[in-house]
Amino acid sequence: MATGETPESIDPPKVDKSAPLLSVRDLATYFHIEGGIAKAVDGVSFDVMPGEVLGIVGESGSGKSVANLSILRLIPDPPGKIDRGEILYEGRDLLKIDYDEMRAIRGNEIAMIFQEPMTALNPVFTVGFQIIETLLTHNPEMTKQEAFERAVLRLTQVKIPDAAKRMKDYPHQFSGGMRQRVMIAMALCCNPKLLIADEPTTALDVTTQAQNMELMLELRERREGGAIILITHDLAVVAETCQRVAVMYGGKIQEVGTVDQIFYEPRHPYTKGLLMSLPSTQTAKQRLHTIPGNVPFIMDLPQGCKFCTRCEEVLERCHTEEPPLHQLQGGQQVRCHLVEEDSIGTNLADIESAHSKS
């Protein structure tokens, strides 16, 4: 428990900078519903390095939210079930530890913030109560007074004016942008190593979004070593805040790279299509490029590459043979047959999974 913290200085979480903070390996989460099995996430692997902001980009139905809820084991069961995979965190597989161990990690070492602060914050308790409750749950030796002071400190750090007074307010007494910041304060109150932010700015006005993103980045800098997974559909926000990006479609990762690689050298046709369909404040009024067709119904995903029904560069084999995640020079990974000749290897977990299915 850090005691030297002030509104200006934050004690960074203790993190081993040489290894990934979190390693997701071949995660699959299926929903058993009437009509069959919806494979919301079907073999997703990625690492989160200390101190980085990893963007996970995808449109509706891509599986990005389900993948991250799976990390914290927040998938309702039934109908959801984590079918397979490993989530390695500090030498433990989060999918295998028991309930109490997971509870000690959730909110304390890995925290999450959501798109709609009104549904994430309990409307019948004051904001102060909710933060104090989180602190006391994870720090049983803390006194109520210490927890109160720490909560006020956190609220001040997220730029809530008059923090001590506002501890007594209810969530509905804050504006949308401030509620979001309260949620950030609550998520960060125990100094977690990893923050998962699920569409944190989608529901906000542009100027508030800019304020909050600036705040999150500032906090990340001060919480040196702490990492953020930013889940969003907004490529512009990704360009502004992330170092690495993973693009998801149809429950799988289709491309991973640094933010420069993804924006300037996208190799996957879906990534290229997404980038080209963005109206940008810089371009002149021209017809927007579009990705033809619609996202296929989740129970009806194509056999081969999940994107084959809409891909403008599709080959025969794409319909029957799902491409592995190819590694390219420079670390970029692309799940597409078209990059096969540049491939220097394929993601190991991917091949293992393919073998286990056949």
Binding site residues, another protein, CB under 8 A: 59-60, 175-178, 205-211, 213-214, 233-240, 259-260, 263-264, 273-275, 277-283, 285, 287-291, 294-295
Q: Is 73 left (phi over 0), alpha (psi -120 to 50) or beta?
A: left
Shortest separation between residue 348's beta carbon and another protein, angstroms: 29
The stretches of 73-161 forming alpha helices (DSSP H) are 99-105, 117-120, 127-138, 144-157
Shortest separation between residue 86's beta carbon and another protein, angstroms: 30
**Tokens 């996430």 — which residue?**
41
**Which tokens belong to 244?**
């690495």
By C-beta, is 89 or 174 nearer to another protein? 174
Please work out, in degrees rounded to the nearest 5, the angle formed at the alpha carbon of residue 236 by the alpha carbons of 232 and 114: 25
C-beta separation of 274 from 235 below 8 A: yes
By C-beta, is 59 or 133 nearer to another protein? 59
Shortest separation between residue 51's beta carbon and another protein, angstroms: 18
Nearest to 51 by CA among 23, 4, 18: 18
Task: Measure the N-to-C terminal CA separation of the chain; round to a whole number of Å.
Answer: 50
Interacting residues of 118 by C-beta distance below 8 A, sequence separation 6+:
171, 172, 179
By C-beta, is 284 or 344 nearer to another protein? 284
C-beta separation of 195 from 183 below 8 A: no
Shortest separation between residue 215's beta carbon and another protein, angstroms: 10
Shortest separation between residue 208's beta carbon and another protein, angstroms: 8
Shortest separation between residue 111's beta carbon and another protein, angstroms: 24
**Which tokens belong to 273?**
């299509």
**Which tokens belong to 253?**
């990762």
By C-beta, is 146 or 234 nearer to another protein? 234
C-beta separation of 259 from 55 below 8 A: yes
For 263, 272, 336, 343, the CA distances from 346, given in Å and listed in that order, are 22, 21, 11, 7
The span from the CA of 246 to the CA of 172, in Å, is 35
Shortest separation between residue 301's beta carbon and another protein, angstroms: 15
By C-beta, is 201 or 327 nearer to another protein? 201
By C-beta, is 140 or 161 nearer to another protein? 161
Strand partners, 56: 231, 246
By C-beta, is 245 or 318 nearer to another protein? 245
By C-beta, is 110 or 160 nearer to another protein? 160
Shortest separation between residue 275's beta carbon and another protein, angstroms: 7
Nearest to 217 by CA among 17, 55, 18: 55
